[in-house]
Amino acid sequence: MLFVALVFGHYGLTVPHEFADLGVILFVYSVGLQAGPHFFNTFQKQGLRILQIGLGAVVSAALVAWLMGWLLELPPSLRVGMFAGAMTSTPALAAALDYLKDPGVSVGYGIAYPFGVVGIVLFAQILPRILHKKDRAATDRVSVSGDIEDPILTRKFRVENPQCIGKNLSELSLHGMTQANISRIHRGDRVLAAKWEMDFQQNDVVLAVGTEAGLNKLQIILGPEVHEDFPLSPDVIAREVYVSEHRVAGKSLVELAIPEHFGVVVTRVAREDIELVPTGAMRLEIGDLLRIVGSPEDCEAFIAYCGKHEKKIHETPILPFAVGIVLGVLLAYVPIHTPGGTPIRLGLAGGPLFVALVLSYLGRVGSLIMRTPYAVRFILRELGLVFFLAGAGTEAGAHFIEVLQSQGISLLLAGMCVTCTPIAVAFALTHWVFGFDLSSTLGTVCGAKTSTPGLGAACSAVESDEPALAYAAIYPIALIGITVAAQILASLG
């Protein structure tokens, strides 16, 4: 889209500036809604390690961009545009344009962007050929992707603890101690739904769902793990249901007392592409996907209570969405005073992004449900991107050829340097300092560059989706870091 807009801009076509501003707001707000849960979960699960990699890549790229601009005497607009293009970051481009109001930013972005894309794609394709054999032989490599969210596992245990025999789930309070959920009980030749009033008997085999830590605790309490298959039973089924009723949304699982009132067990909750182990304190929201286990009659009764109207999950609450955008625009113009005395603003790229990150993580503010369906986020993100790139591209197109003729070789050289630097830094930190395995290394490096094409090449190269999990962990940190760095770089002059 940007390159087409550059061509049309060269021939005099322009797009109203208001369209570009609207595009920036819609684009970054939609990105923030998508990244919010992952961003805060990253800090909870990954901590300092991912932060060091993300900031290391961003800071090194910004320093090289500033240094190359100083050595080659590039104007600030080309310098920061080159940085945003080499990092393949449209939000950074938006932030720099909002700060400098100079079409030269788009010119620098357009020249450096191809190097940013090609460089990370080549890295993703070549690295597996170099490291695959070494990684296969290594036993001490770390898989970061598995740590983003504790994976939910299913295991079976035989009840042999005399302290548990003759007591039911309610009396033992197993979920409170382990955060694991028992969904089925194999007794003799029958498979039964695990109800709270059901007493354990000697040699019952239970099917439990939870994290590895929770299931290990459950094994200590109940008895040894077994590996026998559960026979199929028409009396116990598993169903998936979307929460679509407001009488359920906002209430915790303890408040709903689902096992007591409906006789079913909620074994998993999927929210915003993150699968969670349900706990008593967890509050359900519209759009949550629940996996329940119970008798066919009990499952149907629960589904009728909370999820018969699935079309509601595709509805967008206009008021919370509008409130979020207004708050983001207002925050964009709040001056932030730096130690040097020069105030900086988050701008139209930073304000809506920050508000969206916070609101999407919270999910609810009072009675306002902040959830936005994926389809709406996708459409608004793409529409905003089209508006923004059309405005930025046509404005820059009028000067593109002139700048390319006067600064072209310098920009190409600088773009290559800025492209290679964060790749090298992120790779050194992930593979050599922290000892990540191949899939985690590829995903983390692509995420540090916010490069979706690079991620696609990485997943294809290793024939696995594991790089996408590591990518999701670092992407929000890199996205925010690049956006802030672009404004700082623009302010340096």
More confident residue, 144 or 279: 279
pLDDT at 473 over 80: no
Amino acid 162: pLDDT: 92
Instruction: With residue 430 as reference, give the H or E element that holds it.
Output: none
Instruction: Write down the CATH number for the domain with range 2-145+316-492.
Output: 1.20.1530
pLDDT at 146 over 70: no
Amino acid 45: pLDDT: 65
Residue 264 identity: V
Pick the CATH number of 245-308 from 3.40.50.2300, 3.30.450.30, 3.30.70.1450, 3.40.30.10: 3.30.70.1450
| Half-sphere CA count of 39, side-chain side, radius 13 A | 22
Alpha-carbon dihedral of residues 270, 275, 281, 282, nearest 10 degrees?
A: -20
- If you write DSSP's letter for every residue of 240-296 in order, what string do you get? EEE---TTTTT-BHHHHTHHHHH--EEEEEEETTEEE---TTPBP-TT-EEEEEE-H
Amino acid 215: pLDDT: 92
Please check whether the two domains, 2-145+316-492 and 160-222, share a CATH topology.
Answer: no
CB atoms within 10 A of CB 111: 24
In the block, tokens 């690079």 appear at: 454
pLDDT at 136 over 50: no
Mean pLDDT of the chain: 81
- Superfamily in which the 160-222 domain is placed by CATH: Regulator of K+ conductance, C-terminal domain (3.30.70.1450)
Amino acid 139: pLDDT: 46
CA distance 224 to 212: 15
pLDDT tens sequence across 442-452: 988 988 988 76
pTM of the entire predicted model: 0.64
pLDDT at 16 over 90: no
pLDDT at 467 over 90: no
- If you write DSSP's letter for every residue of 11-40 in order, what string do you get? TT----HHHHHHHHHHHHHHHHHHHHHHHH
**Portion of the chain with pLDDT greater than 90, in percent:** 15
pLDDT at 62 over 90: yes
Do residues 190 and 173 touch, judged by C-beta distance below 8 A?
Answer: no
127-132 mean pLDDT: 80
pLDDT at 18 over 70: yes
pLDDT tens sequence across 235-263: 888 898 888 887 887 788 888 888 888 88
Amino acid 137: pLDDT: 45
pLDDT tens sequence across 205-232: 999 998 888 999 999 999 999 988 887 7
357-386 mean pLDDT: 78
CA distance 418 to 115: 9
In the structure, what pLDDT confidence band is assigned to residue 48 with cuts at 50, 70 and 90? confident
